[in-house]
Amino acid sequence: MIGKGYTRRKSLVALAGAAAGFLVMAPARKARAAVQKLFTSTGAPKGYDPTQHKWLMAINIERCIGCGLCVEACKKENHVPPQPTYFRTWIERYIIKKPRPGQAAVQGETVVDSPNGGAGGFPPCEIPREEILKAFYVPKLCNLCEHSPCTQSCPVGATFDTPDGAVLVDPKYCIGCGFCIQACPYGCRYFNPYTRTADKCSLCYHRITRGLRPACVEVCPAEARLFGDLKNMGPDDPIAKLVRTNKLHTLKPHLGTEPRVLYAGLDKEVR
């Protein structure tokens, strides 16, 4: 078999042929199937076209009362593990103290806490009222980044940006390496010990595709969480009103993730 005719040229051709063949055999299903082919199984919401929507959440810090209903509703709605280290959304309480007497500053120390993520409300704080300059609550969740570092870092393509603005995890494909959890600057991802995959706020994808609002928005009694559709936003939309009447912020803009979740009334102490 070896010996006759195995010249350098023939071997190079054979190698090139093998390389070409291997490249072709790579995922050959490159054809972008129409989105209408999806959502055909019995449980899926019929007639939902992801390309017609671009969902957005906005938070009005002035309104959040720290009741924690959103955190509990999220846990119930999405079957998030109950332990206090797995949260798809959580609330942080910021207590900014007055400056110490003689201290040449406008504000003193900032104390942040989030007991059980804020679920069940916050216990009374131990800092006496006279020492507090101001305090507020900041709900946190997936920031729906335009250039999400989490989807960039997934080695297998198990977390992705949907056409309609959510960032989802594919629990059947995730290998559980945890790279996305490390890459998220906002700490919104966790490792689900039951599914042993990464998990995060899915923007209640199973609700918004059926015309419902995410559970956290649904139960918020103070209209601190606003949910809207960028592609179908009339002037009366609560988010449109918020944008017109407030100065807006996003979290950690210096990282270049371009988060789409808008915060109104964010303080400089919030990271």
Partner 1 sequence: MNERKLPPQLIRLVILTVAILGLYGLARFFLTPPSFGELGFYRALALEEATLRSPVFAGQKACDECHSDTIKKVAKAEHKTVSCESCHGPGRAHVENPELKWGRSFAFDATVWTRHVRHG
Partner 2 sequence: MDAELTNLVYYVPPHVDGYVYPNEQNLLWSTLIVVYPYITGLVAGAFIMASLVRVFKVKALEPVYRLSMLTSLAFLLCAPLPLLFHLGHPERCLQIMMTPHLSSPMAMFGFVYAWYMMAVLLLELWFDYRRDFVAWSANVRGLRGILYRILTLGVHDVSEQALRLDDRMGKIISLVGIPSAFLLHGYVGFIFGSIKANPWWGNVLMPIIFIFSAIVSGISLCVLMYLLLNWARRQAQDINCLDAMGKFLFYALVVDASLEALDWIHRLYAAEESIHILKSLAAGRLFYTLLVGQVCLGTAVPLVILGGLQLFSRHVVPQVRQHLYTLSAALILFGVLAMRWNVVIGGQLFSKSLRGFTTYKMELAGHEGWLMSIALLVLPFIILGVLVKLFLPQKSPVTRTETGAAVSQAA
Identify residues 38-97 at the interface with partner 2 (CB under 8 A).
81, 83-87, 90, 92
Q: Which does 78 bind (CB under 5 to 8 A by kind): partner 2, partner 1, none?
A: partner 1
Question: How many residues are given for the chain?
Answer: 271
At its nearest, how many Å lie between partner 1 and the CB of residue 181? Answer: 17
| Closest to partner 2 by CB, 48 or 179 | 179
Q: Compute, in degrees rounded to 10, the torsion defined by CA atoms 58, 64, 70, 71.
A: 110
Return the number of other C-beta atoms located less than 10 Å from residue 91's C-beta: 27
What, of partner 2, partner 1, none, does residue 76 touch, CB below 5 to 8 Å by kind? partner 1
Residue 19 sits in the site that holds partner 2 (CB under 8 A): no
Among 173, 194, 241, 255, contact with partner 1 (rule: CB under 8 A)? 173
251 binds partner 1 (CB under 8 A): no
CA distances from 39 to 55, 143, 166 (A): 18, 26, 16
Which of 54, 189, 225, 260 forms a contact with partner 2 (CB under 8 A)?
189
What value does the CA radius of gyration of the chain take, rounded to a whole number of Å? 24
For residues 54 to 83, the per-residue mask of contacts with partner 1, x marking binding by CB under 8 A and - elsewhere, is -----------xxxxx---x--xxx-----
- List the structure tokens of 131: 């020492």
**Contact, 73 vs 216, CB < 8 A?**
yes
List, in sequence order, every residue forming a beta bridge with 225; answer none if it has no partner: 59
Residue 260: closest CA among 233, 227, 211, 212: 227
Binding test (CB under 8 A) with partner 1, winner from 19, 112, 175, 248? 19
Please state whether beta strands 197-199 and 225-229 pair in parallel, antiparallel, or not at all (unpaired): unpaired
Residues that bind partner 2 (CB under 8 A): 27, 81, 83-87, 90, 92, 111-114, 116-117, 140, 149, 152-158, 173-179, 181-191, 193-197, 255-256, 271
